[in-house]
C-alpha cells in the first residue's frame, strides 16, 4: 500500500514525542507577560495556552506591542520546553522506531515552535526526516498554524510530493490534511482515546507500528 503515497508527514507532539506538560508553557507565558511589566494572572495565561490563543488584545490592553510580546513568548516557550526535555520530559514513543521500515521520504509539520521541533529531533536522534516545519515566532507564523495548510504545503513542495499522508493526533491535523488535499491518519493514542472527531480521517490507527503495518501491507485497509 505504501505505493499509494510518495511521502509520509507526521505531527510531532503526541505522535513522535509525548505531549508537552501544559504547566511548562503556562510558566513561560506568565514570565513573558512579567518581562513586559504586564500584570496578567496565571489563570488568564493558562486560558491562552488552553485555547491556543495569540493574546493580541491582552498585550495591547497592557500597552505592549503584540508582535514583540509574541516573539518573546515563543522564545521563552521554546527554551522552557528544551529545559524540560533535558530534564526527562517529552520522551519519544517507543513505536517511532517502526518508521525505519518506511522507504518513502518522511517529514514533520507541527504547531509547536520550529526551534523546539529542531531541538527535539536532534536531542532524541529521531529517524531521518527530509523536511521539518514548526511555526515561525511571529504573528504571521501563528496565523499559519494548522488547521491552515501553509506549513503542510511547504513540506509537500520540499518533498516534491502530491500523494502524501499526514499523521496526527487531533481533528486539527485531519482538517489541515484535507485543506492541503492529502490523506490523513488519526493516531488514537491514550491521551486522545476518548476524542470524538467531527472530521473523518482516511485511516485510524492506535500506534505507529499499526500504521507501518498498514502502509506495508498488500491487503486493502479498512477506512473509517
End-to-end Cα, the chain, rounded Å: 17
- Structural domain range at position 71: 22-86
Q: Tell whether the model's pLDDT for residue 177 goes beyond 60.
A: yes
Identify whether residues 77 and 129 lie together within a single domain. Answer: no
Identify whether residues 132 and 43 lie together within a single domain. Answer: no
End position of a domain, from candidates 61, 86, 111 = 86
**Alpha carbons 185 and 167: distance in angstroms, whole number:** 5
| CATH number for the domain harbouring residue 173 | 3.40.50.1000
**Alpha carbons 211 and 205: distance in angstroms, whole number:** 6
Per-residue pLDDT at 115: 98
Identify whether residues 203 and 132 lie together within a single domain. Answer: yes
End position of a domain, from candidates 86, 104, 130 = 86
Q: Tell whether the model's pLDDT for residue 164 goes beyond 80.
A: yes
The answer to whether the CB of 152 falls within 8 A of the CB of 177 is yes
Q: Tell whether the model's pLDDT for residue 27 goes beyond 90.
A: yes
Q: Tell whether the model's pLDDT for residue 15 goes beyond 80.
A: yes
Q: What is the mean pLDDT of the chain?
A: 95
Record the cell numbers describing residue 171, joined without a space.
481533528
| Residue at grid coordinates 508553557 | 25
| Span 139-164, average pLDDT | 97
What tens digit of pLDDT does each residue of 76-130 get? 999 999 999 999 999 999 999 999 999 999 999 999 999 999 999 999 999 789 9
Percent of the chain with pLDDT over 90: 94
Q: Tell whether the model's pLDDT for residue 19 goes beyond 80.
A: yes
Q: What are the beta bridge partners of residue 8? A: 106, 165
**Alpha carbons 181 and 213: distance in angstroms, whole number:** 24
Exposure of 95 by Cβ count < 10 A (0-12 exposed, 13-18 middle, 19+ buried)? middle
| CATH number for the domain harbouring residue 68 | 1.10.150
Residues 6+ apart with CB under 8 A from 94: none
Query: Which is more confidently placed, 217 or 42?
Result: 42
Let me know if residue 224 belongs to a domain: no
Write phi, then psi, for 108 (nearest 5 degrees).
Answer: -130, 130
Q: Tell whether the model's pLDDT for residue 195 goes beyond 60.
A: yes
Three-state SS at 149: coil
Let me know if residue 184 belongs to a domain: yes
Characterize the bridge pairing of strands 203-205 and 7-10.
unpaired
Record the cell numbers describing residue 70, joined without a space.
509574541
Per-residue pLDDT at 219: 63
Report the domain count for the chain.
2
Let me know if residue 27 belongs to a domain: yes
Record the cell numbers describing residue 145, joined without a space.
498554524
Identify whether residues 113 and 206 lie together within a single domain. Answer: yes
| Residue at grid coordinates 495548510 | 149
Q: Tell whether the model's pLDDT for residue 1 goes beyond 70.
A: no
Identify whether residues 200 and 162 lie together within a single domain. Answer: yes
End position of a domain, from candidates 86, 109, 131 = 86
Provide the CB-side half-sphere exposure for 156 (13 A, CA): 19
Q: Tell whether the model's pLDDT for residue 221 goes beyond 70.
A: no
For residue 16, which of 126, 106, 136, 103 has the smallest C-alpha distance? 126
Write phi, then psi, for 7 (nearest 5 degrees).
Answer: -170, 155
Let me know if residue 79 belongs to a domain: yes
Identify whether residues 59 and 28 lie together within a single domain. Answer: yes
Identify whether residues 57 and 72 lie together within a single domain. Answer: yes
Q: Tell whether the model's pLDDT for residue 191 goes beyond 70.
A: yes
Per-residue pLDDT at 217: 85
Amino acid at each position: 500500500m505504501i505505493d499509494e503515497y510518495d511521502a509520509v508527514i507526521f505531527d510531532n507532539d503526541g505522535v513522535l514525542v509525548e505531549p508537552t506538560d501544559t504547566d511548562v508553557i503556562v510558566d513561560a507565558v506568565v514570565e513573558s507577560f512579567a518581562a513586559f511589566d504586564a500584570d496578567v494572572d496565571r489563570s488568564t495565561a493558562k486560558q491562552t495556552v488552553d485555547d491556543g490563543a495569540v493574546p493580541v488584545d491582552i498585550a495591547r490592553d497592557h500597552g505592549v506591542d503584540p508582535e514583540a510580546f509574541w516573539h518573546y513568548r515563543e522564545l521563552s516557550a521554546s527554551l522552557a520546553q528544551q529545559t524540560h526535555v533535558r530534564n526527562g520530559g517529552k520522551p519519544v514513543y517507543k513505536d517511532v522506531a517502526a518508521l525505519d521500515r518506511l522507504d518513502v521520504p518522511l517529514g514533520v509539520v507541527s504547531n509547536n515552535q520550529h526551534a523546539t521541533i529542531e531541538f527535539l529531533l536532534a536531542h532524541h536522534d529521531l529517524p531521518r526526516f527530509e523536511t521539518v516545519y514548526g511555526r515561525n515566532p511571529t504573528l504571521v507564523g501563528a496565523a499559519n498554524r494548522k488547521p491552515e495548510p501553509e506549513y503542510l504545503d511547504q513540506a509537500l513542495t520540499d518533498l516534491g510530493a502530491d500523494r502524501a499522508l499526514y499523521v496526527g493526533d487531533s481533528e486539527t491535523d485531519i482538517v489541515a490534511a484535507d485543506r492541503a488535499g492529502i490523506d490523513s491518519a488519526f493516531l488514537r493514542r491514550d491521551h486522545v482515546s476518548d476524542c470524538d472527531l467531527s472530521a473523518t480521517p482516511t485511516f485510524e490507527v492506535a500506534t505507529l507500528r499499526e500504521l507501518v503495518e498498514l502502509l506495508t501491507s498488500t491487503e486493502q485497509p479498512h477506512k473509517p
